[in-house]
Amino acid sequence: MAAVLTDVWPLFGLVVRTGRVELRLPRDEELAALAELAGRGVHRPDEQPFLTPWTAGDPADRARRVLQGFWSGLAEWRSASWSLDLGVFRDGEPIGSVSLNGTDFRVVREVTTSSWLGLPHHRQGYGTEARIGLLALAFDHLGASAARTEVFPDNAASQGVSRKLGYRPDGISVDARGDEALVSHRLRLPRAAWLDGTHPPVTVEGLAPCLPLFGL
């Protein structure tokens, strides 16, 4: 049955591996565990480091939003507009999620990224490692020309990871969260800066049958 699923939707066969983590689409039981992890918290209650209101509602509400996000990404996938939401696994255990998004990627060749980790897995370098895996997929295997991300000015951890990987300031954006207007720093990583950097080895498996889904 797993082979049939991969034949019909080859993204289930796509696996990105770094030294310690593996990025791939979670299966149903793994997605449930990932949602439960998010329900227990992705940041401290006294912080608001993301535009997504992760502290809103109870753990079940947060878990449901994770499920809906993964399902909608698969259901709404188009070659001209896609969102690849991958689970981050450490020794088979889901510890977080990363997203790679593209609009008119075949022409524009730019992607955006985002990520979260469950609270028990913070400050251990997993976020940096997962971002490197995602960027290696984008630049080295999909041929991206740039990667963009947005981060709050006071999100020191994400700002630090982005600077370390070579991102450059690219202006600001303003978004609404309820009745509050929030300013984010836009950051951009050009292909040349990625190629000039030194990164740990990343392996990608199962990409070839997926390329038409990315418009390639």
Residue in this structure with the two tokens 């227990």, named with its chain if needed: 40
Distance, CA of 161 to CA of 151 (rounded, Å): 11
pTM of the prediction? 0.88
Distance, CA of 133 to CA of 140 (rounded, Å): 10
Distance, CA of 86 to CA of 82 (rounded, Å): 13
Residue in this structure with the two tokens 């199962």, named with its chain if needed: 206
**How high is the pLDDT of residue 42?**
63
The answer to whether residues 32 and 70 touch, using CB atoms and an 8 Å cutoff, is no
Choose among 202, 163, 210: nearest CA to 10: 210
Distance, CA of 33 to CA of 114 (rounded, Å): 20
**How high is the pLDDT of residue 50?**
54
Choose among 106, 197, 111, 92: nearest CA to 150: 111
The answer to whether residues 127 and 18 touch, using CB atoms and an 8 Å cutoff, is no
- The pLDDT tens digits along the chain (216 residues) read 556 688 899 999 999 999 999 999 999 899 999 989 887 766 666 566 454 655 566 778 888 888 998 999 999 999 999 999 999 999 999 999 999 999 999 999 999 998 888 888 888 999 899 999 999 999 999 999 999 998 877 677 777 788 889 999 888 877 776 677 777 888 999 999 999 999 999 999 999 999 999 999
Tokens of 85: 């939401």
pLDDT in tens, 77-121: 999 999 999 999 999 999 999 999 999 999 999 999 988 888 888
Choose among 95, 111, 90, 205: nearest CA to 167: 111
Distance, CA of 185 to CA of 154 (rounded, Å): 10
Distance, CA of 82 to CA of 9 (rounded, Å): 14
